[in-house]
C-alpha cells in the first residue's frame, strides 16, 4: 500500500505556483487576488477560510476576507458580490458554503462573475466542464485529478465508483473521470443513498472515491483487493486528545481498508489540502486571463 500524500503534493504544487506568480509579476503582471466572503462564525468554515488565506500568503497571492454576520440578508450579500464583481483588482471570488438557511446558495453562486468563479460552482463553468471546453474546475474534483496525475495512476478503462452525488464533489468528479483523455477514460458508476447493494458495486471498483460525509462508512469488505481509494469525506468530531478539541474523520475506515489498497489518501493530509491548492491555481489562471481572455 502506498499513501497518496496530500502534504507532499501540496508543498510541491505551492512551490510551483509561487514560482509562476513571481514570474508573472516579474513580467509586469498584477498580483493575483483572491477575495472570500464568510457569513457567520461556523467553526468548520472559519478553519477552511483561514487555511485559504494562509495558503494565498504562502504563494504570493493577495487575499481579502469580507465577513458578514449570520443575519445578513440575501440582498445585502448579492449587492456586495456585485461590487466585488466590478472590482478589477479581484481575480477570484468565493463565498464559503454552507450559508444560513434564509439565503439561497443558488442565487449566491449564480451572482458570481463566471470569470472570477474560481470555486467552479457557477452553472456556466460546470456546463463548460461537462462539454470539455476551458472552465474553472471545482477545487475538490481538480484536487483529486491532480493526485491521480502526480502518482501516475492509470485511469483508462478502469472501473471507477464514486459514492456521493453532490454538485461540488461527486457529480463533477464522475464527469471528469469519464471524459476523454488522462486522467479520464474510466468507466464510472455514481452511487448515492438510494443505491441498492452498494457493497457489491464498490467491490468492483479499481478506483473508489468516497464523498458522503459519513465517517468511516467504507469498510474493508466494501473494497476490492488492490484498489485505489480516495477519501474526500471530512467530518469534524469532538476529541479529548487533540489540542483544538476536534479531529477530522474521513468516510473510509483507514486502518481497516489501507492494507487492501494499492494507494489510499489519508484524512487529514489528503484531498482537503489539494482542494486549497486548486483554488490558488484557479486564481492565478484568472489573473492571467487564461480561461476567459
Ligand atoms: P453532500 O452532503 O452534499 O452529499 C453527500 C452524498 O452522499 C449524497 O449524494 C448522498 O446521497 C450520499 N450518501 C449519503 N449517505 C449515503 C449512503 N449511506 N450510501 C450512499 N450514499 C450516501 O456532501 P458533499 O459532497 O458536499 O461532501 C461530502 C463529504 O466530503 C463531506 O464530508 C464534506 O465535508 C467533504 N468535503 C471535502 C472537501 C475537501 O476539500 N476534501 C470539499 C467538499 C466536501 P443522496 O444524494 O441520495 O442524498
Rounded to whole angstroms, the Cα distance separating 96 from 111 reads 14
Q: What is the pLDDT of residue 117?
A: 97
Residues 108, 199, single domain; the answer is: no
Full domain range(s) for residue 167: 139-273
Strand ranges (E), the chain: 2-3, 33-39, 62-68, 92-95, 159-163, 187-191, 207-210, 227-231, 235-238, 246-249, 261-264
Residues 148 and 266 in one domain: yes
Q: Which three cell numbers stand for residue 285?
A: 489562471
> What would the pLDDT profile of 198-248 be if each residue is shown by its tens digit?
999 999 999 999 999 999 999 999 999 999 999 999 998 999 989 888 899
Q: What pLDDT score does 23 carry?
A: 98
Question: The CATH number of the domain where 264 resides is what?
Answer: 3.40.50.720
The reply to whether 9 falls in a domain is no
Q: Which CATH number belongs to the domain containing residue 89 in this structure?
A: 3.40.50.10860
Q: Check if 119 is active-site.
A: yes
Distant-in-sequence, close-in-space partners of 212: CB < 8 Å, separation ≥ 6: 163, 164, 233, 251
Gyration radius from the chain CA atoms = 19
Verify whether residue 96 is a known catalytic residue: yes
Closest by alpha carbon to 219, among 266, 257, 169? 257
Cβ of 25 closer than 6 Å to ligand 1, yes or no, is: no
Task: Say what percent of the chain tops pLDDT 70.
Answer: 100
Q: How far apart are CA 223 and CA 229, in angstroms?
A: 8
Res. 76: pLDDT tops 90:
yes
- Ligand 1 near 275 CB (within 6 A): yes
User: Domain check: are 163 and 51 in the same one?
Assistant: no
Q: Who's near 150: CB < 8 A, 6+ residues apart?
A: 9, 12
160 within ligand 1 shell (Cβ under 6 A):
no
* Domain limit, last residue, from 79, 113, 147: 113
Whole-structure pTM value: 0.95
DSSP string, 64-77: EEEEE-TT--HHHH
Read off the pLDDT of each residue in 276-289 and give the average, rounded to a whole number. Answer: 97
* pLDDT in the model for residue 244: 84
Same domain? For 196 and 106 the reply is no
C-beta 265 within 6 A of ligand 1:
no
Same structural domain, 143 and 267: yes
Per DSSP, the three-state class of 94 is: strand
Are 79 and 169 found together in one domain?
Answer: no
Assess if residue 101 is contained within a domain: yes
Q: CA quadruple 117, 122, 125, 126: dihedral positive or negative?
A: positive
Among 138, 147, 164, say which to mutate for ligand 1: greatest number of ligand atoms within 8 Å of CB.
Answer: 164
Dihedral (CA of 87, 280, 139, 286) sign: positive
Q: Ligand 1 center to residue 161 CA distance, Å?
A: 14
pLDDT value of position 61: 98
Over residues 144-165, the mean pLDDT reads 98
Tell whether 87 is covered by a domain.
yes
Over residues 252-281, mean pLDDT: 96
Do 218 and 157 have their domain in common?
yes
Residue 126, domain member (yes or no): no
The answer to whether position 6 is within a domain reads no
Q: By the 8 A CB rule, do 116 and 287 touch?
A: no
Q: Is 86 exposed, middle or buried (0-12, 13-18, 19+ CB in 10 A)?
A: exposed
Question: Which pLDDT value is given to residue 246?
Answer: 87
For residues 158 and 218, membership in a common domain is answered with yes
Task: Please report whether residue 20 resides in a domain.
Answer: no
Q: How far is the CA of 192 from the centre of ligand 1 (A)?
A: 9
Ligand 1 nearest-atom number relative to CA 194: 47
16, part of any domain: no
Same domain, 231 and 150: yes
Same domain? 156 vs 260: yes
- Residue 247 located in a structural domain: yes
pLDDT number for residue 57: 98
Provide the pLDDT for residue 44. Answer: 83
**Which residues in 168-183 are b (16+ Cβ under 10 Å) and which e?**
bbbbbbbbbbbbeeeb
Residue 108 and residue 148 in one domain: no
Q: Per the omega criterion (within 30 degrees of 0), is the bond before 183 cis?
A: yes
**Known catalytic residue at 86:** no
107 and 156 housed in the same domain = no
- How far away, in angstroms, is 284 Cα from ligand 1 center? 28
Number of domains observed in the structure of the chain: 2
State the average pLDDT over residues 85-89: 98
DSSP string for 174-237: HHHHHSSSSS---EEEEE-TT-SSHHHHHTT-SEEEE-S--TT-B-GGGS-TTEEEEE---EEE
Q: Ligand 1 centre and the CA of 81: distance in Å?
A: 27
Return mean pLDDT, the chain: 96
Amino acid at each position: 500500500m502506498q499513501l497518496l500524500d496530500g502534504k507532499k503534493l501540496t508543498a510541491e504544487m505551492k512551490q510551483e505556483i509561487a514560482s509562476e506568480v513571481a514570474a508573472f509579476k516579474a513580467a509586469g503582471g498584477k498580483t493575483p487576488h483572491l477575495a472570500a466572503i464568510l457569513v457567520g462564525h461556523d467553526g468548520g468554515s472559519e478553519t477552511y477560510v483561514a487555511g485559504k488565506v494562509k495558503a494565498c500568503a504562502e504563494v504570493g497571492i493577495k487575499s481579502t476576507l469580507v465577513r458578514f454576520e449570520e443575519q445578513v440578508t440575501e440582498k445585502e450579500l448579492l449587492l456586495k458580490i456585485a461590487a466585488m464583481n466590478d472590482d478589477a483588482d479581484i481575480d477570484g471570488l468565493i463565498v464559503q458554503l454552507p450559508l444560513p438557511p434564509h439565503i439561497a446558495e443558488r442565487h449566491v453562486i449564480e451572482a458570481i462573475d463566471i470569470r472570477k468563479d474560481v470555486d467552479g460552482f457557477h452553472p456556466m463553468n460546470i456546463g463548460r466542464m461537462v462539454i470539455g471546453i476551458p472552465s474553472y474546475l471545482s477545487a475538490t474534483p481538480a484536487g483529486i485529478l491532480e493526485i491521480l496525475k502526480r502518482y501516475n495512476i492509470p485511469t483508462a478503462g478502469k472501473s471507477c465508483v464514486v459514492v456521493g452525488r453532490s454538485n461540488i464533489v461527486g457529480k463533477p468528479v464522475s464527469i471528469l473521470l469519464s471524459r476523454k483523455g488522462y486522467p479520464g477514460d474510466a468507466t464510472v458508476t455514481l452511487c448515492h443513498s438510494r443505491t441498492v447493494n452498494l457493497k457489491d458495486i464498490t467491490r468492483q471498483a479499481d478506483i473508489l472515491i468516497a464523498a458522503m460525509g459519513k465517517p468511516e462508512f467504507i469498510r474493508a469488505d466494501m473494497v476490492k483487493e488492490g484498489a485505489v481509494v480516495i477519501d474526500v469525506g471530512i467530518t469534524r468530531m469532538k476529541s479529548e486528545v487533540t489540542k483544538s478539541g476536534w479531529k477530522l474523520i474521513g468516510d473510509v475506515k483507514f486502518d481497516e481498508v489501507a492494507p487492501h489498497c494499492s494507494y489510499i489518501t489519508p484524512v487529514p493530509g489528503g484531498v482537503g489540502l489539494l482542494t486549497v491548492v486548486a483554488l490558488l491555481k484557479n486564481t492565478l489562471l484568472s489573473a492571467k486571463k487564461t480561461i476567459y481572455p
